[in-house]
Structure 1
């Protein structure tokens, strides 16, 4: 695969690709993409391109809830403080303040749209999760918060008067620029017709989510291969803090079962972690079971060397377990575990990317015409470790801000003649790779889990870099989804390795056993851009 190319596959703009024009193009149909589209639909015609069906992303899988300072004894100031503390010294203070202060109005808008959160005696029911000092996490249908939010947003988007069109089964391959170097659209693979298409727009919003599928164990759905991040990188966008991956402490760890998330809300309600001897091991850790996620994940990882680690939810009582965590209860029962009666085996799994496409407070990237929000974006709001249940709020708040910014100056509507011609105009040919893409994907995931996972060191990172570089040099994707995904996964895995090698300290989701301490000289954001020979740093 050509490391210098601006495109994942070669293509020729002179070919007869179908060309579509829309005012605003939104890439992704999770909470950030849908909320941005809704907030723009009063002014513009919007098209959403989504990789699979509209419900296939991370949002639908979110269990625990959405953190917001709406409870009587809470305030945005408390929420601000908890977020800063969890972020391990790397949070952008302005971004956190906006998140905490604008969060309530965005959640209230979400409720007006139709999201129905759980209530107790006709008042919103708040729970507590790790590293929160107050009960501020709203939930829906017990442990199906993301699904309820996605349902409400999808219903609003699909309203016949919404000015929003949704195109499913579209793989966005690359961003397109005009002759002034402004992002003006995308090259997309229409999987319904098995054809390349060009989509042009005044502005493009990247809301493509995370990259959990780079790792062997992840709570993320199959679509999360980081395609939007990789496309932005090829186009020249800066990526920030790519070394900071959050590993959720408690995913179901059972042979033959997926890494199904066991919500942190279970520990918030009182569930306890037990080692292989049936003993608690978090009692001497500040915060105990509700310490920040990176700390709990490493404690569990250490205990797993001696045997299986369990989460005991049964102490909550059968009625509460079934009412508060119906989805988790049902799923575990399918694998032979009644969590209301016995502990469930758990282990860490890749969950969230704190890094992403570098954006300012308004969601603007370094590329004119390109905006980003949600998990694929990074403005420093989560620092080195995201506070539990802040991800859904992040998607709402900064999507609404992106929408307001675009309304100020959406940019011109481009024409095909405006497009910058690719340097490599070779027509796309069927390419036969000498190695099996599926085999490489499995090996890539194993490499990332073993050497770029919860505990890292220089030796392992260098081995990972060598192995991944070898695969990248040998592999070139053809025009099918699995190969396009692998091309993106190879690019992003190497960027994570490069960023992790450069940061010689431990902080939040990045832990180096050869540099186990946090060092104030590293209290800065890493930035990497296509063509850079090394990682550079910017002040927090």
Structure 2
């Protein structure tokens, strides 16, 4: 029976780094639900954090990552990734001269929020993700096949071995196809589209995490959602990301009359950690104020930030006026499928890398520009594991395709309603009352069993997955009775440092709240 050595679901930086680093004797297949470039990685305006400056050191990067993550991080994960960062930057540079440099040929290093040094490497000013993705695509060899517009919705398991052996997917015409792989890698990104205000691509709906949960994998830290402080905000809608690098170049947040809003809030002012800036903006918006990014201090703004300038122009905003209206929106998931640094999950043969995975690097709040770094790291390290492995799992004689099945409709909410209610009840500011209200609302909708998904349309399966992820976030947020990083509760506004190491681990039918010395189990209603 023919099968792939490596089956990758998703096409972001982690997925493409993995594919580009695998040996040519490996048969590699990439399945993506849209096109290969429609991913959050491609949209990334920021850069890649690496301690390569003359006054910088990985130990400083380590400390900044822990501080931003409110010490919920896995220290060993942080240490290994930040120590590897300079080597990853050099590796990408050797593949293609894409990073911005000064006249002397040294990397131009930018500053972003919660960093103590200039250590952000950029490409094309504010087009780092696009340029890195295009470089990695150009390095793919003939052993890598890419199939676009394929919607993967179920993991195939060999229960006797507790092993993932493939996936089930739908094509645009409704045909169901089964794909098998010795290594199955989920690289499907986060779940930003669960919120009405978001910087995420339309495809980012938590599919990989939902599939892993339904297969029995451990999911962790789902309460920690990072809300980026500055999305372009026009006519009550967010229209795109305004990179934190703009504030790193001197822009400040002001009210309509020009009053700075971050003075006295945090020592780093406008470059405070993202959760602090987002909560501050949220408070002003709730009290009827408009908030703007004053960019007058940024020299040569249009040249330095061409992508942002284009987004503003597309929405009728002239950056020469010096002010950009902004609001916070969902940007990054710190939690996800529980993995080690290489991407191993609690299911044999199943790996998760990039934003869909939780290695412990980000803790309760991601340090700016650590996400592309993590994707590059995991993709490279997993490729090294696979290249050296001679693992030969047993595969049953299963079919490769299934005839079209008559579709049935599920009782599901409208996606826009999910997004609006998640923003209002499980968003930047949470409380027991709002969270329980959201849980009760979600409980109206029955999540079908995984073996029932074949008969639903891709749109309905997407909505089912969004409801499931909304459950996981809401349940985790109810379980964390403190405020930490991206999780802020108005009824528990302070950090509970006696339980700072607590992690909420969810797998099918159970929720485990794990401390260093105890394990508490509870039933998860989904």
Give the C-alpha shift of residue 350 in structure 1.
Answer: 0.3
Contact 1:502–1:535 (Cα < 8 Å) also in 2: no
1:272 aligned partner: 252
Does 1:452 find its partner at 2:426? yes
Does 1:442 find its partner at 2:416? yes
Task: Say which SS state the counterpart of residue 443 (structure 2) adopts.
Answer: helix
Give the C-alpha shift of residue 288 in structure 1.
Answer: 0.2
- In 2: Cα distance, 1:443 partner to 1:256 partner: 16
2:521 aligned partner: none
- Which residue, out of 375, 387, 400, partners 2:367? 387
Does 1:359 find its partner at 2:339? yes
Contact 2:161–2:348 (Cα < 8 Å) also in 1: no
1:462 aligned partner: 436
- Which residue, out of 126, 138, 162, partners 1:143? 126
1:290 aligned partner: 271
- Which residue, out of 34, 50, 63, partners 1:52? 34
- Which residue, out of 289, 306, 329, partners 1:307? 289
Contact 2:176–2:403 (Cα < 8 Å) also in 1: no
Does 1:472 find its partner at 2:455? no
| C-alpha distance 115-358 of structure 1, shift in aligned 2 (>3 A) | farther
- In 2: Cα distance, 1:222 partner to 1:427 partner: 26
Contact 2:41–2:372 (Cα < 8 Å) also in 1: yes
1:481 aligned partner: 458
Q: Deviations over 1:447-494 (max 9, x none)?
A: 100000000000100110111121336998644221111111011100
Contact 2:253–2:260 (Cα < 8 Å) also in 1: yes
- In 2: Cα distance, 1:276 partner to 1:539 partner: 48
TM-score by length of structure 1 reads: 0.90
- In 2: Cα distance, 1:306 partner to 1:429 partner: 50
| C-alpha distance 25-535 of structure 1, shift in aligned 2 (>3 A) | same
| C-alpha distance 473-26 of structure 1, shift in aligned 2 (>3 A) | closer
Map 1:133-282 onto structure 2 (within 5 A).
133-157=116-140, 159-160=141-142, 163-178=143-158, 179-191=160-172, 193-255=173-235, 258-282=238-262
1:98 aligned partner: 80
- In 1: Cα distance, 2:34 partner to 2:237 partner: 23
Give the C-alpha shift of residue 539 in structure 1.
Answer: 4.0
Contact 2:155–2:164 (Cα < 8 Å) also in 1: yes
2:351 aligned partner: 371
Task: Say which SS state the counterpart of residue 239 (structure 2) adopts.
Answer: coil
Task: Say which SS state the counterpart of residue 319 (structure 2) adopts.
Answer: coil
| C-alpha distance 430-371 of structure 1, shift in aligned 2 (>3 A) | same
Map 1:120-131 onto structure 2 (within 5 A).
120-121=102-103, 122-131=105-114
- In 1: Cα distance, 2:244 partner to 2:296 partner: 15
- In 1: Cα distance, 2:202 partner to 2:403 partner: 31
Give the C-alpha shift of residue 265 in structure 1.
Answer: 0.1
Structure 1: gaps of 5 or more residues: 1-18, 420-424
Task: Say which SS state the counterpart of residue 260 (structure 1) adopts.
Answer: strand
1:403 aligned partner: 383
Task: Say which SS state the counterpart of residue 477 (structure 2) adopts.
Answer: helix
Task: Say which SS state the counterpart of residue 96 (structure 1) adopts.
Answer: helix
Structure 2: gaps of 5 or more residues: 518-526
1:341 aligned partner: 321
Task: Say which SS state the counterpart of residue 152 (structure 2) adopts.
Answer: strand
- In 2: Cα distance, 1:189 partner to 1:49 partner: 11
Which shows bigger deviation, 36-45 or 367-376? 36-45
Task: Say which SS state the counterpart of residue 119 (structure 1) adopts.
Answer: coil
- In 2: Cα distance, 1:483 partner to 1:115 partner: 43
Contact 1:219–1:350 (Cα < 8 Å) also in 2: yes
Give the C-alpha shift of residue 522 in structure 1.
Answer: 2.9
Q: In the comparison of the two structures, how many residue pairs are matched?
A: 507
